[in-house]
A = this chain, B = another copy of it.
Amino acid sequence: MPKLTNHEEVKQSIAEAAWRVILEHGMEGASVRTIAKEADLSLGALRYYFKTQDELVAYSRELVYKRTAERMGRVFKLDMPPKDKIVQVLLNLLPSSEEKRLEVEARLVFKVYTRHKGEKFDAQQDSVYIAIKEVMSYLVLLNLLKKDADLHLETERLYCLMDGLALDAMIRPELLEANRMKRIIIYHLNSSCSEKFGNVGW
């Protein structure tokens, strides 16, 4: 492990180790001991950063949101035609690279886990929901949505579709490779918008 002197950096590297353990073994295998081992730390050292497993899980989930929001910020700032950008934002919510894969899959597992923990899920805090709302605002701003579109239902539909796509990409990665996700996203945008997205960004 590279030398990390910054407190926050160590916490992040522990959270990343937690993601890997959770994705490899599920929540059931994500004991503090296993995460410490994955992070190359002693149990005592890990406990210095996180007093309890709940604290570690909460931090790891928050870090997923934070990283997703940062990535979305970068994509929104890219210098490219609006339609390309919208496609890129949505593709960036799917596990199309190893770095994203960890984040995207960890987010889904955390989302399912909310149910087991009996916690309340607040979509407004979910960086994916926030990104979808921005995409919709962007479509409205550019006057791309169909005249009879219902903004609220379009938002909720796209949010659920992106979750389903992410889940499917996690379970059937071979289909992700085949550009299937991009085709579905463009097909969906074409069905919601008045102008064709065509083969934009392929």
Chain B residues contacting A25 (CB-CB under 8 Å) are: 116
| Min CB–CB distance A178 → chain B (angstroms) | 11
Q: CB of A153 within 8 A of chain B?
A: yes
Q: CB of A76 within 8 A of chain B?
A: no
| Min CB–CB distance A121 → chain B (angstroms) | 4
How many copies, total? 2
Verify A160–B165 contact, CB threshold 8 A. yes
| Min CB–CB distance A98 → chain B (angstroms) | 15
Q: Mark A104-144, 1 if CB is under 8 A from B, else 0.
A: 01001101111110000101000000000000000000000
Q: CB of A71 within 8 A of chain B?
A: no
Instruction: Name the contact of A162 in the complex, choosing from B114, B164, B172 (C-beta under 8 A).
Output: B164
Q: Mark A1-37, 1 if CB is under 8 A from B, else 0.
A: 0000000000000000000000111111110000000
Chain B residues contacting A67 (CB-CB under 8 Å) are: none
